[in-house]
Structure 1
Amino acid sequence: MKNKITKIALILLSVLLLYSCSLVKRVPDSRHLLEENTITVNGEEKKEEALQEQLYQQPNTSILGYHLRLHLYNLAKKDADSSYQAWLARNPQRHENLRKLLSEKQVQRLGESFIVAGLSNFLKKVGEPPVLVDPVRVRKSANRLLSYYYKRGYFRTKVGYRVDTLGVKKAQVNYTVETGKPYVVDSIATYIESPVLDTLYQKIKDESLIKSGKQYNETDFTGERERIANYFLNRGVYRFEPNYISYIVDTVNTGYKANVDLIIDNETVRRGDSTFTRPFKIFKVSQVNIYTQNAADPNGTIDSTTYNGFRIFSNGKLNYRPKALTDPVFITPGSTFSDFRRVLTYRYINNLRVFYYPNINYVVDSTDTEGSSLIANIYLKPRDNFKLLYGIDLTHSNIQDMGIQGSTGLSIRNLFRGAEILDLTLRGNIGSSRDPAISDRSFFNILEYGADAKLSIPRIFFPLKTDNIIRKEMLPASLLSLGISRQKNIGLDKESFTGVLNYNWIPKRNRTARLDLFNIQYIRNVNPDNYFFVYNSSYDRLNDIANTYTEQLDPTYYSVDSDGDVRLNIEEGTRAFITGVDGGDITTTAQDRREVRSIEERRRRLTENNLISATNFTYTTTTQDNLNDSEFFIFKTKLETAGNTLSLISSLTEKNNRSTSGNRTFLDVEYSQYVKGELDFIKHFDLTHKRVLAMRAFFGLAVPYGNSDNIPFTRSYFAGGSNDNRAWQSYSLGPGSSGSVNDFNEANLKMLYSAELRFNLLGQLNGAIFGDVGNIWNVFDNQDQPEYIFNGLSSFRDLAFGSGFGFRYDLNFFVVRFDIGFKTYNPGRPVNDRWFKEYNFAHAVYNVGINYPF
């Protein structure tokens, strides 16, 4: 036993030695590989990322301690072309033979080709050269640490460093920082030359970022300069710039106190070769001119008009209603100059999508003898009134593994001379799905096509005036859309009609609101008789029950397979058996009768036509400024109600407006009635070095009432799939602990929590480790099976847990994603047999997606 332990220890020691030697393969004899940086501040080691970022050199990247990219770089030949030349020189005849076969020029190019140098060049590109300790950069890093603390008020900071060798060709750099006592802001004096600026400053001085008794921090001084400058620019001070503001900080013999002088200079004016200063003054906008042109007649006679004090000029006949041009403009005649109004005008005009990026400039009004008036000139270049629309996209959804979507159409701008846009499009989609419910196993087994008409209106389209509620600073817009489509995928096929009137606006920065006043959807199942061909699990359950009562079955409704089992004919046999059991003509046990009724209820629900007339409101808050942000959160809330308008209309019509089931109808179709609420929270944490921890929490509940005792299939919740719990396929998880007996499992309550750690592997290739927790349940509806229903805290044991890993390749314009999920805790299994029973590649779920799941 001792010999075995000794051998194992020797093997491990050998492996570690080889690993250590391979790391320094490309390190010159006189140099050292940077293994680690340590920063000790006042005797305490600090690992804050802000401090590490001050250092000019960081150790080679690693994954769980393994320097993958450094190893790849070391695998490459140091100089592949030189090795090739040496190979030729060793055998002159070889060189001669190649020259005869090719040419001397081609022989030389061969050394640069992929055959000779391609692999080495690739390894160098995706790999990472060793980071060698550089004394010059170490000194620069120490100076940056000194500057870092100096800017935070530690004016007597001392920084030292030491390089310690760690074995063969490796070293560690240790930085030591002694900060001393920080300086604190004491007195604050202001020297403002322009009386106008002094008056304005007195109104905001109490909100200053620089406060007496607060530790000195250069960030406060920079922020205060920007705050004052923005306030002045938005209160009429034209041409003011932050560089007119300066500080003098006195720390000489003050006892760790900093006395601050805030200085705001007069305006500097240059005329010819001379310059002089003068006090700033408040400017007002005396005139606003809007210049545009008629795209059909850009060189025509100037057409001009006046509207609400604005002067509008057009080359050729004015092709816009004056209100459409003045509504997006926040710079108004008679108003005080404000730079923020210019920014808002840019944003609003840009959102119209009718003009190119506008040009806005100011000139001093020469007719004002006091020289305190401005003329604002706004130049608008219209886009073409007609534009052909076309596009092709790769698509992905929880059912569709991969799809190709194409569209073509026409965009008509300024349709009613109010900057409206009408988009008419035809679209089609072919896709591939591995879903077992789709009997067609060819690669492209999903087909959808349709047409859409969308009218965008750059204001709130409503009979009543809404300006006092949704101000134009919120960039309001309305969208009226109509669409029809036909879908062929799971055998039932669907035809749908949608009509939407929604409003969008931005209440505050980084907040958006959307109100769907009308969201109407009518779905017609084209082939309802195909139900049992599509939903195989429902057919198998029904057929198993039928095999128990074969003596009561009419032989014309079934056939017998080679194993002697009864196979009900679809649709005649299945319908006859269900009708017989429900009517009592076929005698069964109470349990089997309940099961057959449940199967029939689900069949009716999934094959009936749906009419949904909903109103919903969505409010989103985010701190994400752009797509490159790696630390942010998104919080979205949504409330939806359906059927109330149709219920009111139905109650006012004739009494013969009910279906055979007793539910009210509209145009002979039962309408859905429910209320639905959702909370969706996404948070990203930047762990630095291209590592991000991303999390998502979701809760959704839909409650039927009135005309409905369940939620329409298209508005219910499902679990599983590439954007959900990735250890289960779409619709294959839940409800509750039912074991997912149906082909498409859905419910009206959903909980989900997902987290994944994302990190860089090689170049554009990233990796991820993830965990997903969640499930769906039935609640407040017509489901009565206990394992399907949410029963309070006890149902939390039915939360499914999936874990796994994945890869993402960033193509800049989108990300290709591949995830492998493992069922870690499966609530569909017996209570004591749920953990890690299917944690293997045989039961793994492979997900391919476009972009990140959250």
Structure 2
Amino acid sequence: MKNNFYIYFKYLFAFGLASISLSCSNTRFLKEGQMLYTGAEVRIDNDTLSKTEKKDLKTALEANLTPKPNSTFLGLRPKLYFYNIAKEPKKDKGFNYWLKYKMGEKPVLLSDVDRKFNKDIIENYSENKGYFNARATYDTVSKNKKAKVIYTLRPGAKYLISDVKFQKDSSLINQEIQKLAGKTLLRKGNPFDLDVIKSERERIDNGLKEKGFYYFSGDNIIVQADSTVSKNHKVELNVKLKDNTPDLATQQFSIDKVIVFPNYNIKDVRDGKYKIPMDKDSLSKYAVGDMYVIDPEHKFKPKIFDRALYFEQGDLYNRADHNLTLNRLINLGVFKFVKNEFIVSDSLQNKFDAYYLLTPRQFQSLRLEALGRTNSANYIGSEVNLNWTHRNIFRGAEQLKASIYGAFDVQMGGPKDANNIIRTGANVQLSFPRIVAPFRFNTSSAYVPRTNINLGFEFQNRTQLYTLKNFNASFGYIWKENARKEHDLKIFDATFVSPTNITPKYEEMMENNVYLRRVVEKQLIFGPTYSFTYTNTMLPKTNTIYYKGTLDLAGNLTGLVTGANVEKGKQKSIFGVPFSQYFKLENDFRFYHKFGENTSLATRLIAGFAYPYGNSNDIPFSKQFFVGGSNSIRAFRARTLGPGSYDPRNQNATFFFDQSGDVKLEMNAEYRANLYKFLNAAVFVDAGNIWLVNEDIERPGAKFSKEFMNEIAVGAGVGLRLDFSILVLRLDLAMPLRVPYYEKNDRWTFDKINFGDSNWRKDNLILNIAIGYPF
């Protein structure tokens, strides 16, 4: 350990010297008289503001100053250094061009800083936040060819709102504005804030759009501020319509006709060959209620538009139904472009026609996918998928998807007697853009609910051991309440696994091993499953979350009706196959925190529990939990970890990678940083394990007990991610820090770390190559 410490100290000392050298070296490239700009600082001279107010104001002001200094990493400016050392390229390509202008960053000089402009920004921003008498000065501090600018702000007292008045008159639009006044964002006693005033104008605009004022704009509202009517730094606000507001913006419009063109070709419009027919009486149409569907070729059933469109003749225009309709048309999945226009049909009655111009996608598509892969279990392989899709199979935007695939995985390295895996299969899915049920299901969501029917078959051959035939079928619904909440209910989800061609070699292996025998048992699993997903990760927030909870209830009703009880010798079968009965719950919770534009922290907690009862002693192997691998605890190879403190190195090498459990606990934390455009780096820590509910004599230490915290595995590592938008290639290098199957008092491995030992590196450094982020 002393030798290791000495080596690490030398590396750290060398890194420190290199950092100082690199930090100083950038200034030697400057010309005479040039100063490297290192940033700006805002100081606030005011005794009446609290520390929090000063901090918030300071942060906001510094964020608005320009230009930004050269980017830093650990106090250094590597991008600037690359720019400085690279020669000026003769062409806009080649290594020098890439190093100087792609990897590098042009120096930001003091001469690039318009200090008076920044001073004006500080004063204007402060006034917009209620500091009407704000004054700022600036000073420049320089040393060793580096310079920073210090701005000092004397904001004075903050003005508060003394009263808010909504000017009244007898017009229809003013009556609607008065109805909105009760929920104003402008509150007496609050600070004057221009951003809040802008939000108030948007709120009024949105409210009027819901009441038929289609042509109204938030710019038609003015908020007058008067600081002369009150004393003690108070301001009175008066909300009113601008005098020059167009008459059309004050009119309330309703829907006359709703006209749908489901075969609209946007190219024809560009060429001037196609125009919207204005004479509705001459339309070649078939109607659904008050809706006109212009579809001479009858490619679509009119009912799909009746379900998707929310406007009817006579309805007052409102933006909610407008956006809802557009979103539902897009979510049908059969239209490439969705365009909407409102054209005045009766100016005296304030009516307009709603036109929906829909450009369909190609109804049928055929796609061939081929991929190569590798995983942390030393398998390399390939997969080929042939996918066919019909997006309008029954003329009601129903989607039929069919696919066939073939795959093989060959183990390179690792155990000498490892076996290869060959898989072939097919899958068919029919999806209806509605809830197909004997009951009525109404939703005002912008997302179209779907009924899905799935049928699948897979043939799996583990060479020299056995083959499995897997049949599955499901019927269920998927619907979203909104962009954040999604429900997935499978009323019926069935799987039948049938083994064939079990080799004598495998029979001999499983003769005295219950665990191996269970892998090739016939399995019949059926019952409902439900999952709920909540996420707000699509929002531009500092803190976002993702949660998915899944409940699987297999054979529960059947077990109850038949009185199945395997412990009392009353195991029941269907077609000669005992059906599985269990309860399974899994929770996946993720939390994301953004430190800045280019850095973030991602964390995940997975907790799962499966309990067999009634007709089953064990959870089916395919429904159990697994840990390890590129998307789990990356310091351990896929499916090698657990259960509990069981040591998988003592078992047959062929099944070294197939550990499973009934209880799962996993925790992950990953710090992510952008290094350069598409290149990202990460530092991560993973922890967790799996356990069994019941004792397994073949795997001592596998049962879940009060000692479970002492059986947690821990791994850590670093990673690189090449994010090309459409594809993220991930490389993670991890090593174990705590191994649960070591002796109880010797599970932490810090004292065993030895990067200089090739054998240690071979056994402990795990490289994971994967597509996409782990979570």
Output the TM-score relative to the length of structure 2. 0.85
Deviation at 1:76, TM superposition (A): 1.4
Task: Quote the residue 2:356 is aligned against.
Answer: 378
Deviation at 1:382, TM superposition (A): 3.4
* Unaligned runs of at least 5 residues, structure 1: 1-6, 82-111, 270-276, 531-569, 579-595
Partner SS, residue 497 of structure 1: strand
* 1:255 partner letter: N
Deviation per CA, 1:772-826, whole angstroms, max 9, x where unpaired? 121112236767977322223x422222221111111122211111111121122
Rounded Cα–Cα distance in structure 2 between residues aligned with 1:164 and 1:456: 67
**2:454 matches 1:481:** yes
CA distance 1:194–1:832, change in 2 (3 Å): farther
Task: Quote the residue 1:535 is aligned against.
Answer: none
CA distance 1:347–1:429, change in 2 (3 Å): farther
Rounded Cα–Cα distance in structure 2 between residues aligned with 1:225 and 1:725: 51
CA distance 1:804–1:385, change in 2 (3 Å): closer
CA distance 1:472–1:768, change in 2 (3 Å): closer
Deviation at 1:159, TM superposition (A): 2.4
| 2:527–2:553 contact (8 Å) kept in structure 1 | yes
Q: 1:604 aligns with which of 484, 493, 517?
A: 517
* 2:551 partner letter: L
Task: Quote the residue 2:289 is aligned against.
Answer: 308
**2:279 matches 1:286:** no
Deviation at 1:664, TM superposition (A): 2.0
Deviation at 1:847, TM superposition (A): 0.9
Task: Quote the residue 1:839 is aligned against.
Answer: 753
Rounded Cα–Cα distance in structure 2 between residues aligned with 1:203 and 1:15: 67
Q: 2:303 aligns with which of 320, 323, 344?
A: 323
Task: Quote the residue 1:69 is aligned against.
Answer: 79
Q: 1:141 aligns with which of 97, 100, 118?
A: 118
Task: Quote the residue 2:174 is aligned against.
Answer: 198
Deviation per CA, 1:354-413, whole angstroms, max 9, x where unpaired? 2332332222333x8x41333222233433443333344566777686655433243233
* 2:741 partner letter: G
**2:336 matches 1:356:** yes
Deviation at 1:736, TM superposition (A): 1.9
Rounded Cα–Cα distance in structure 1 between residues aligned with 2:635 and 2:16: 39
CA distance 1:199–1:14, change in 2 (3 Å): closer
Rounded Cα–Cα distance in structure 1 between residues aligned with 2:92 and 2:237: 65
| 1:672–1:712 contact (8 Å) kept in structure 2 | yes
Task: Quote the residue 2:758 is aligned against.
Answer: none
Rounded Cα–Cα distance in structure 2 between residues aligned with 1:236 and 1:780: 65
Rounded Cα–Cα distance in structure 1 between residues aligned with 2:169 and 2:375: 64
**2:27 matches 1:24:** yes
Deviation at 1:209, TM superposition (A): 0.9
CA distance 1:146–1:446, change in 2 (3 Å): farther
| 1:331–1:341 contact (8 Å) kept in structure 2 | yes
Deviates more, 1:245-254 or 1:604-613: 245-254
CA distance 1:837–1:675, change in 2 (3 Å): farther
Task: Quote the residue 1:223 is aligned against.
Answer: 199
Task: Quote the residue 1:823 is aligned against.
Answer: 736
CA distance 1:631–1:191, change in 2 (3 Å): same
Rounded Cα–Cα distance in structure 1 between residues aligned with 2:455 and 2:12: 73
* 2:73 partner letter: I
| 1:457–1:477 contact (8 Å) kept in structure 2 | yes
* 1:73 partner letter: Y
CA distance 1:206–1:438, change in 2 (3 Å): farther
* Unaligned runs of at least 5 residues, structure 2: 1-9, 269-273, 275-281, 756-760
Task: Quote the residue 1:186 is aligned against.
Answer: 162
Rounded Cα–Cα distance in structure 1 between residues aligned with 2:226 and 2:35: 44
Partner SS, residue 228 of structure 1: helix
Rounded Cα–Cα distance in structure 2 between residues aligned with 1:837 and 1:12: 23
Deviation at 1:474, TM superposition (A): 4.8
Task: Quote the residue 1:543 is aligned against.
Answer: none
| 1:193–1:264 contact (8 Å) kept in structure 2 | no
Task: Quote the residue 2:583 is aligned against.
Answer: 675
**2:486 matches 1:512:** yes
| 2:451–2:478 contact (8 Å) kept in structure 1 | yes
| 1:823–1:839 contact (8 Å) kept in structure 2 | no
| 1:267–1:279 contact (8 Å) kept in structure 2 | no
Deviation at 1:229, TM superposition (A): 0.9
Partner SS, residue 427 of structure 2: strand
| 1:294–1:314 contact (8 Å) kept in structure 2 | no
Task: Quote the residue 1:760 is aligned against.
Answer: 674
**2:603 matches 1:695:** yes
Task: Quote the residue 1:90 is aligned against.
Answer: none
Rounded Cα–Cα distance in structure 1 between residues aligned with 2:101 and 2:454: 53
Rounded Cα–Cα distance in structure 2 between residues aligned with 1:402 and 1:338: 57
Deviation per CA, 1:285-313, whole angstroms, max 9, x where unpaired? 23322233599xx99x9753332332333
- Of all paired residues, the percent bearing the same amino acid is 26
Rounded Cα–Cα distance in structure 2 between residues aligned with 1:14 and 1:648: 73
Q: 1:634 aligns with which of 534, 546, 570?
A: 546
Deviation at 1:528, TM superposition (A): 3.6
| 1:721–1:728 contact (8 Å) kept in structure 2 | yes
* 1:216 partner letter: F
Partner SS, residue 801 of structure 1: strand
CA distance 1:448–1:279, change in 2 (3 Å): closer
Task: Quote the residue 1:37 is aligned against.
Answer: 40
Q: 1:155 aligns with which of 132, 136, 154?
A: 132
Partner SS, residue 754 of structure 1: strand
| 2:82–2:105 contact (8 Å) kept in structure 1 | yes
Task: Quote the residue 1:585 is aligned against.
Answer: none
CA distance 1:574–1:305, change in 2 (3 Å): closer
Deviation per CA, 1:567-612, whole angstroms, max 9, x where unpaired? xxx357556xx5xxxxxxxxxxxxxxxxx5xxx2102211213222
Task: Quote the residue 1:421 is aligned against.
Answer: 399
Deviation at 1:713, TM superposition (A): 1.6
**2:388 matches 1:410:** yes
* 1:163-182 alignment runs, 5 A limit: 163-166=140-143, 168-182=144-158
* 1:764 partner letter: F
Task: Quote the residue 1:542 is aligned against.
Answer: none
**2:577 matches 1:664:** no
CA distance 1:717–1:643, change in 2 (3 Å): same
Rounded Cα–Cα distance in structure 2 between residues aligned with 1:714 and 1:398: 20
Deviation at 1:16, TM superposition (A): 6.9
Q: 1:494 aligns with which of 457, 468, 476?
A: 468
| 2:332–2:448 contact (8 Å) kept in structure 1 | no
* 1:643 partner letter: G
Rounded Cα–Cα distance in structure 1 between residues aligned with 2:20 and 2:687: 42
Task: Quote the residue 1:453 is aligned against.
Answer: 428
Rounded Cα–Cα distance in structure 2 between residues aligned with 1:14 and 1:396: 40
Rounded Cα–Cα distance in structure 1 between residues aligned with 2:502 and 2:40: 68
* 2:771 partner letter: I
Task: Quote the residue 1:544 is aligned against.
Answer: none
| 1:802–1:821 contact (8 Å) kept in structure 2 | yes
Deviation at 1:662, TM superposition (A): 5.7
Partner SS, residue 787 of structure 1: coil
Q: 1:247 aligns with which of 212, 223, 226?
A: 223
Q: 2:660 aligns with which of 734, 746, 750?
A: 746
CA distance 1:772–1:12, change in 2 (3 Å): closer
RMSD, aligned CA: 3.6
Rounded Cα–Cα distance in structure 2 between residues aligned with 1:13 and 1:725: 33
Deviation at 1:694, TM superposition (A): 1.2
Rounded Cα–Cα distance in structure 2 between residues aligned with 1:736 and 1:282: 69
| 1:401–1:848 contact (8 Å) kept in structure 2 | no
CA distance 1:440–1:677, change in 2 (3 Å): closer
Rounded Cα–Cα distance in structure 1 between residues aligned with 2:585 and 2:382: 32
| 1:650–1:665 contact (8 Å) kept in structure 2 | no
Rounded Cα–Cα distance in structure 1 between residues aligned with 2:147 and 2:198: 39
Deviation at 1:282, TM superposition (A): 3.0
Task: Quote the residue 2:106 is aligned against.
Answer: 129
* Structure of greater Rg: 1
Task: Quote the residue 2:185 is aligned against.
Answer: 209
